[in-house]
């Protein structure tokens, strides 16, 4: 069901944690949906120098946040903002269709962190676009089927 890259990220997630002196923090999802992602970033000049995550959610959610935090490191804010959920999916070698919303969640958490940084700097938040989270369907092994 999951690619080797996803499995590697779930068994060995990268960038787990929180930055004590974060410049921006973004949190998306809700426990009721079964997904919460919190991403903190450190910004120097115009660049993200560090990014960490904490995620409550399925394997795809953990792998997406692990991957996305790695992808934004070293990028300018504009470059990081431009990372799409499809970029995250590609980097993971694909996600099952029902799990694509997890990559959207990761993109949105990054963007929420960038906007938090911008707001703290007294800048206008960028337009987030519609939240794509909570749009997937179905999942693996469920007792209700057996």
Partner 1 sequence: MNDKDQRPVYMDHAATTFMKPEVLAAMAPYFSRYFGNPSSLYRFARESRKGVEEARSQVATALGAEPEEISFCAGGSEADNWAIKGVASALRKKGDHIITTAIEHHAVLHTCEALEKQGYRVTYLPVDEFGRVDPGDVEDAITDRTILVSVMTANNEIGTVQPITEIGRVAHAHGVLFHTDAVQAVGAVPIDVDALGIDLLSLSGHKFYGPKGTGALYIRRGTRIESLIHGGGQERGRRAGTENVPGIVGLGRAIELATADIEGHNRRIAAMRDRLIRGVLGSIPDTRLNGHPKQRLPNNANFSFRYVEGESILLLLDAHGIAASTGSACSSASLEPSHVLLAIGLPHEEAHGSLRLTLGDANTEDDVDYILEVLPEVIGRLRQISPLTPACARVPEAD
Q: CB nearer to partner 1: give 24 or 136.
A: 136
Provide the edge-to-edge strand list for the sheet that holds 35-44: 24-30, 35-44, 47-56
Q: At its nearest, how many Å lie between partner 1 and the CB of residue 137?
A: 3
- CA of 131: how far to CAs of 17, 110, 128, in Å? 24, 13, 8
Catalytic site includes residue 58: no
Catalytic site includes residue 131: no
- Residues 113 and 100: their CA atoms lie apart, in Å, by 21
Q: CB nearer to partner 1: give 45 or 138.
A: 138
- Residues 50 and 53: their CA atoms lie apart, in Å, by 11
Q: At its nearest, how many Å lie between partner 1 and the CB of residue 26?
A: 11
| Positions that interact with partner 1 (CB under 8 A) | 2, 7, 10-11, 13, 16-17, 27, 31-38, 53-59, 61-62, 98-99, 101-102, 133-146
Q: CB nearer to partner 1: give 24 or 57.
A: 57
Beta bridge partners of 25: 40
Annotated active-site positions, please? 33, 102
């Amino acid at each position: 069901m999951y690619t080797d890259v996803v499995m590697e990220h779930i068994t060995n997630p990268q960038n787990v944690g929180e930055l004590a002196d974060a410049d921006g923090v973004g949190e998306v999802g809700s426990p009721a949906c079964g997904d919460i992602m919190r991403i903190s970033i450190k910004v120097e000049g115009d660049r993200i120098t560090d990014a960490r995550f904490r995620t409550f959610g399925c394997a795809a959610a953990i792998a997406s946040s692990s991957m996305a935090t790695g992808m934004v490191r070293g990028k300018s804010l504009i470059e990081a903002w431009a990372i799409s959920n499809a970029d995250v999916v590609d980097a993971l070698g694909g996600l099952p269709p029902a799990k694509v919303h997890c990559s959207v969640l990761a993109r949105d958490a990054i963007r929420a962190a960038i906007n938090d940084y911008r707001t703290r700097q007294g800048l206008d938040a960028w337009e987030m676009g519609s939240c794509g989270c909570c749009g997937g369907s179905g999942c693996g092994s469920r007792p209700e089927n057996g």
